[in-house]
Amino acid sequence: MELIRNRFKAAVKEGRPQIGLWNSIAGTAVTDIIAGGGFDWVLIDTEHAVIEPGEVQVALQILNGYPEVAALVRPLSNDAPLIKRHLDMGAQTLLVPFVQTGAEAEAAALACAYPPAGIRGVAGMTRASRYGRITDYARRANEEICLLVQVETASALDHLDEIALTPGVDGVFIGPSDLAASLGHPGNPGHAEVQEAIDHTLDRLKTLGVPSGILALDPEKARAYLERGVGFVAVGLDLLMVAQAVDRLRSAFPR
């Protein structure tokens, strides 16, 4: 078998905007449903979700059935053993949360790469190499791994350049909810101070030539981000979409 190409990584590097959805609901049905929605990527979230690491492989296998959709995985934390497990399961793109310094970005990059570039442990019998059938996986895997790091605190913004320019970092994702809280506006990512910080960060990333990403649940705002060149934009969250659909249907039957 040939090494599997990471088309999401290629698209982001080439500046082709990628629109995605958040998958926080464990199990197979929802992943299957949203995978068929025609979006460019689906993020399997294990940070703010009850999806356990072992369930990530099932989600990856489901998404494998939709070759036009890229699977992204968010580990619970910037933890080398967790990153190793997700990569061994076959994840090729990771969104590592809560990165605040260049050193933390470097730690994530090292965890994503086999030696000598990094510290990722080598095992030949994993799904990542399709159980050894991708014969040059160990030698070439790093080429197709995409590391996205999240900046979502005031401190991270103070270290943006060192984070964004860390070798091995392929993109920087802004976490509006955590950033809002960090700036003193919990639950209010729309606050002027938060929006200003986001705008400045996106402009800086553009100046640095580093692909940017963000979560924007308002379609108009999401379109605006795409138009200004944000590379990967999450436009929906499965948990929220289900709750809103339930509430909308209920409201159609006033007591």
Ligand X SMILES: O=C(O)C(=O)C[C@H](O)[C@@H](O)CO
Catalytic residue annotation: 48
Chain position carrying tokens 């590391």: 147
Contact 44, 64 (CB under 8 A): no
Residues at the contact surface with ligand X, assessed by CB under 6 A? 48, 150, 152, 175-178, 215, 237
- Minimal distance, residue 43 CB to ligand X, in Å: 9
Tell me the one-letter amino acid at 81.
Answer: P
Tell me the one-letter amino acid at 21.
Answer: L
- Minimal distance, residue 127 CB to ligand X, in Å: 26
- Minimal distance, residue 155 CB to ligand X, in Å: 14
Nearer to ligand X, 45 or 106 (CB): 45
- DSSP letter at 173 equals E
Supply 253's token pair: 């039957």
Contact 177, 190 (CB under 8 A): no
CB contact set of 80 (below 8 Å; sequence gap of 6+): 107, 110, 111, 119, 120
Nearer to ligand X, 20 or 168 (CB): 20
CA distance 32 to 243: 18
**In Å, how far are 51, 211, 248 from 59, measured between CA atoms?**
10, 26, 28
- Minimal distance, residue 9 CB to ligand X, in Å: 20
Nearer to ligand X, 180 or 210 (CB): 180
- Minimal distance, residue 51 CB to ligand X, in Å: 12
Give the angle 88-10-160 at the CA atoms, nearest 5°. Answer: 85
Nearer to ligand X, 48 or 191 (CB): 48
**In Å, how far are 1, 6, 18, 142, 220 from 11, measured between CA atoms?**
23, 9, 7, 17, 23
Supply 113's token pair: 């790469």
Nearer to ligand X, 93 or 129 (CB): 93
CA distance 224 to 213: 13
